[in-house]
Amino acid sequence: MTDIDSSAPVLVTGASGYIASWIVRFLLEGGYTVHGTVRDMRQGQKFGHLYELAKKEKGSLRLFEADLLHEGAFRKAMEDCGVVIHTASPFRLKVKDPRQDLVDPARKGTLNVLATVNELDTVQRVVLTSSVAAIYGDAIELADKPNGMFTEDDWNLRADLDYQPYSFSKTIAEKEAWALAEAQDRWSMVALQPGFVLGPSLSDRSDSTSIDFMLSMVNGNFKSGVPDLYFGIVDVRDVAQAHIRAGFNPEASGRNILTADELGVLEMGAILRTEFGKKYPLPRRILPKWLLYILGPFRGYSWSYIRRNAGYPVRFDNSCSMEKLGMTYRPVSETLIEQVHDFERKGMI
């Protein structure tokens, strides 16, 4: 592929989000012209931090209103752009209507964005924010992997509207995006599959699932114990840098798992104790599985999820991202500790 025009504007959808805000910051630091979309321009409290970033950096920023479900809503923001970074997609584990709240925004929103990409000749590269949720359904599946790791060749075949609807939304959105990308040869697509994204936030918002989880770690919600669950973890700043590298490296391609390490929830608490000692009521024990079957449904864990995930570690092969995107990852300990210090600076705990 020919070099990607770095002088053209870069579109970041869902620009005020947890990951997207860092993408915008790094692009502005690099002197890029950034077009960002937000759902409602009247809600300035959700994206005011982006304008503050733009005042300090070399690049320039324009924000546009765009709704994932409105056909053609991204056209104005995408005009003249060479790279489109599509991050906008809801990340919520508890919803009333999975199709309306998760699947439609993820799937239809992605198809909406890519339909506009097909209409505008300036776009050379699309970067799609997917998730390891599109790689696997349950941790127990790792036992069937001959190399003992989940890789980019794997797809989540278990999730549906009733079981892990968030995972289903990411899986179906990515699959349909690949179908559109492979049906043409003018623009290329790179998909990124981050693990559990943690680390400091650029805004004061607390409506992120990642932020809510970490607040629960330090505010006593897990004081009585934590489920024996494991995650592939990655720093939000590394995820943001991976998006930019995927956008401008002509050789970047395919799917790319983004994880720094795999840890259990109890291990995460132990790391935080090395920095904060007894300052916070951090978890110190694993809840027995029988107790999870009783308490789990009240915390959003179905019996099926507990049976197929509690007590089963996960492991991911992140070599593609290191080889194709040149990624190196921050230690998870740094990510966790800096996120809690960020909470402290903002008075969130």
- Position 133: which residue type? A
288 against 88, higher pLDDT: 288
Look up the pTM and report it.
0.95
Provide the pLDDT for residue 2: 73
In this prediction, residue 100 carries a pLDDT of: 83
**What is the bridge-based pairing of β-strands 230-235 and 261-264?**
antiparallel
Q: Is 347 exposed, middle or buried (0-12, 13-18, 19+ CB in 10 A)?
A: exposed
Other C-beta atoms closer than 10 Å to the C-beta of 181 total: 19
Q: What is the pLDDT of residues 110-161, one digit of tens each?
A: 999 999 999 999 999 999 999 999 999 999 999 999 899 999 999 999 999 9
Label residue 97 exposed, middle or buried (CB < 10 Å: 0-12, 13-18, 19+): exposed
- Tens of pLDDT, residue by residue over 236-284, are 999 999 999 999 999 999 999 999 999 999 999 999 999 999 999 999 9
Reduce the DSSP state of residue 21 to 3 states and report it. Answer: helix
**Sole residue written with tokens 């699959």:** 175
CA 136 distance to own-chain centroid = 15
- Burial tier of 55 (Cβ tally within 10 Å: 0-12, 13-18, 19+): exposed
What is the rounded radius of gyration, in angstroms, for the C-alpha atoms of the chain? 20
Phi, psi for 11 (deg, rounded to 5): -95, 130
Interval 206-241: pLDDT, tens: 778 889 999 999 999 998 899 999 999 999 999 999
12: amino acid identity, one letter: V
Question: Which pair of tokens denotes residue 221?
Answer: 């919600």
Q: Please name the fold of domain 10-345.
A: Rossmann fold (3.40.50)
* Sequence ranges of the domains in the chain: 10-345
* Token duo for residue 319: 């070599």
Q: Amino acid identity, residue 236? A: V
The pLDDT value recorded for residue 228 is 95
Catalytic residues: 170
Task: Express each pLDDT in 307-329 by its tens digit.
Answer: 999 999 999 999 999 999 999 99
Q: What percent of the chain has pLDDT over 90?
A: 81
Segment 315-344 mean pLDDT = 97
β-bridge mates for residue 150, sequence order: 316
